[in-house]
A and B are shown apart, each in its own frame.
Chain A
Amino acid sequence: MKKLVFLFIAGTLNIGNAAELTQTEVRVDAHDARASIPTSLTREKAIRQIPAISPGEYFVPPDVGDIPTSKYGDMVKLGRNIFIDTQHYAKRYVGNGLNCSNCHLQEGRKAYAAPLWAAYPMYPEFRNKIRDVVTFEARVQDCFRFSMNGIAPTLDSPEIKAITSYAHWLSTGAPFNKELPGRGFARLGKPRDPTPINGEKLYKESCASCHSLDGQGQKFTNRDGYMFPPLWGKDSFNHGAGMSSVKSCAQFSKANMPLGKGWTLTDMEAWDICTYIWLQDRPWDPRFGWFFNIFAPPTGGN
């Protein structure tokens, strides 16, 4: 607090001392290099290394054509359907416009996009978020509650059973209770504190052409649903979702975005963009009432 007061006084004193500047000059203390130099032109980007995936580097789940023809196979198929078309197959539990596969890319198979084959064998697991050990089924419930901004299906519901079967089948041959490469999201460095000013510029440059300038995604013109998922707004995940935290969002974006061009953002660019996204309006955190949702800062900012 003392520091703040000092800064304030120093700031007010400084106003009178500002020297005359020409139109092309910038005061040294006002010029923020990171916000104004286009990062797409910096040398860092030109020499950026995009990792090539060699065969066998990541676990390969079984092929879709190999789903067994049995009662179990039917459940796996239902789970896959729910996973890639949640809007249709688990409609009653979903409160926004997203599908599971919007974040768990490529039917939950893609490494560093929270693949199911790496997650399923790790459960039951301690979760810091709720400070308890959770089963896989309970974890899926949380996805519905936060990321889908909906209502958690009960543990004995066919939806949970089907998704668990699908994850179980995808993990065929995966080692049990062993952390696999590609699990969860990419690990990032954080060279400095992120800035949403740079993030906004980067968002407009490399995200807005699909997710649209207002972050509402793009809807199909010839059918229901979203072609490109909304990143904020009423049809997006709520403030309690994992993707709503700047860290998870940055880790996801680094490895996967723009789609097909993963690993081309620098760590800092991913942090900046996600800080900008985090600042936007989205549905309330269902864990809190209206008071905390309005007056308390949303979680996931650090």
Chain B
Amino acid sequence: MKIQTVNKDNIRYKCLGWLIVSAAIVTLTGCSKSNAVDQSAVSAGQLLAEKGRGTTVPGCVACHGAHGEGIEAAGYPRLAGLDSSYIEKQLKDLARELPPAGVVIESVAKDYSKTPRLYSDLTVFSPGLRHDDIMSPIAKQLSETDIHNLAAYFAGLSYTAKPVAADFQVLERGQDLALRGKAEYGLPACVSCHAPDGEGFGADFPPLAGQPASYTVNQINKWQLGQRDNDNLGLMKAVSDQLTDADKLNVAAYYANRSLAVKGQ
């Protein structure tokens, strides 16, 4: 018979050894951790966000709030504290022209004789498509550098949510969907990708907490209508297709009701 024990001493000695080695390396090489955020990009982004440029690009602060907090009543989303690559991707997708209706996009060139047939990691990227009547014309005026600067600026802003009151039954149902999903229909919970407090995770999963309820509902509507198609692996498309109108309202109200404090990156 085998009795299982955790040999903690052994692990401790190993840890101690590694500690000594790593301490030696740190003292020899010096601790040089480079700061990833480019300060010049942030200040350029701030200038563009506050002042805009000419008549074509209005300042972001006009709709997204002085500190990127969004406008609840109008449904303009908050940008403060979002992942910088997420903001970059959204702006690029908004700037992209929608394909004319009825056109089929060939992902791979049809003339196979011109394509080398031995390739190791072919990945097919869908061009992320997202359209908004207000934002798309503005995004088209932004250069790649502008987009990078704006993303760096807004990602660095801190944000504290102001919870919006809602009916308790709405909140309860929203919470049920957000934390547990609908297991009997195979619909996963919001928190399983958007992080336990809805604070978002990484570049693919944006925060839900602190976003205006009308914005959240609007985006899910767009997914259902096929007007937004730029999500990772089409996950949100698949989830949106399963949401009823009541689900959208409930869960959006729940996340607008959450308190959240985000420290800029």
| In the complex, B202 has a CB within 8 A of chain A | yes
Going nearest first, the 6 A-B pairs with the smallest beta carbon separation are A109-B183, A106-B183, A261-B238, A260-B188, A110-B183, A260-B239
| In the complex, A291 has a CB within 8 A of chain B | no
Known: A204-B121, A227-B201. A258 touches B235 (CB 8 A): yes
Interface members, chain B 191-236 (any A CB < 8 Å): 192-193, 195-196, 199, 201-202, 204, 232-235
Least Cβ distance of B171 to chain A in Å?
14
Q: Which of B108, B116, B232 contacts A41 (CB 8 A)?
A: B108
**Are B235 and A227 within 8 A (Cβ)?**
no
Q: Which of A23, A64, A209, A286 contacts B233 (CB 8 A)?
A: A209
**Are A110 and B186 within 8 A (Cβ)?**
yes
In the complex, what distance in Å separates the CA atom of A205 from the CA atom of B181?
26
| In the complex, A206 has a CB within 8 A of chain B | yes
**Are A260 and B187 within 8 A (Cβ)?**
yes
Q: Which residues of A contact B113 (CB under 8 A)?
A: 24
22 of the cross-chain contacts (CB-CB < 8 Å) are A24-B114, A36-B117, A38-B108, A41-B107, A41-B124, A53-B184, A64-B176, A105-B183, A106-B183, A109-B183, A111-B186, A145-B4, A151-B6, A152-B4, A209-B204, A220-B195, A223-B196, A227-B195, A227-B201, A258-B235, A259-B193, A261-B233
In the complex, what distance in Å separates the CA atom of A261 from the CA atom of B124?
18
Q: Which residues of A contact B123 (CB under 8 A)?
A: 38, 204-205
Q: Which residues of A contact B107 (CB under 8 A)?
A: 38, 41
| In the complex, A107 has a CB within 8 A of chain B | yes
Q: Which size bracket describes the interface of B in this complex?
A: 35 or more
Complex interface bits, A192-209 against B, C-beta within 8 A gives 1, otherwise 0: 000000000100111001
Known: A222-B199, A259-B193. A105 touches B118 (CB 8 A): no
In the complex, what distance in Å separates the CA atom of A107 from the CA atom of B192?
11
In the complex, what distance in Å separates the CA atom of A25 from the CA atom of B108?
18
In the complex, what distance in Å separates the CA atom of A24 from the CA atom of B117?
6
Known: A106-B181, A209-B204, A227-B201. A258 touches B186 (CB 8 A): no
**Are A60 and B4 within 8 A (Cβ)?**
no
In the complex, what distance in Å separates the CA atom of A110 from the CA atom of B116?
44
Q: Which residue of B lies closest to A26 (CB)?
A: B117
Q: Which residue of B lies closest to A40 (CB)?
A: B124
Least Cβ distance of B213 to chain A in Å?
22
Q: Which residues of B contact A286 (CB under 8 A)?
A: 4
In the complex, what distance in Å separates the CA atom of A64 from the CA atom of B183?
12
In the complex, what distance in Å separates the CA atom of A109 from the CA atom of B188?
11
Known: A204-B121, A209-B232. A53 touches B185 (CB 8 A): yes
Known: A209-B232, A209-B233. A107 touches B180 (CB 8 A): yes
Q: Which residues of B contact A124 (CB under 8 A)?
A: none
Interface members, chain A 1-45 (any B CB < 8 Å): 23-26, 31, 36, 38, 40-41
Least Cβ distance of A135 to chain B in Å?
20
Q: Which residues of B contact A173 (CB under 8 A)?
A: none
Q: Which of B189, B204, B234 contacts A106 (CB 8 A)?
A: B189
In the complex, what distance in Å separates the CA atom of A109 from the CA atom of B179?
13
**Are B233 and A105 within 8 A (Cβ)?**
no
Least Cβ distance of A226 to chain B in Å?
11
| In the complex, B122 has a CB within 8 A of chain A | yes
Q: Which residue of B lies closest to A23 (CB)?
A: B116
In the complex, what distance in Å separates the CA atom of A55 from the CA atom of B176?
19
**Are B117 and A259 within 8 A (Cβ)?**
no
Q: Which residue of A lies closest to B179 (CB)?
A: A64
Q: Which residues of A contact B119 (CB under 8 A)?
A: 36
In the complex, what distance in Å separates the CA atom of A58 from the CA atom of B183?
10
Q: Which of A26, A106, A209 contacts B180 (CB 8 A)?
A: A106
| In the complex, A68 has a CB within 8 A of chain B | no
| In the complex, A262 has a CB within 8 A of chain B | yes
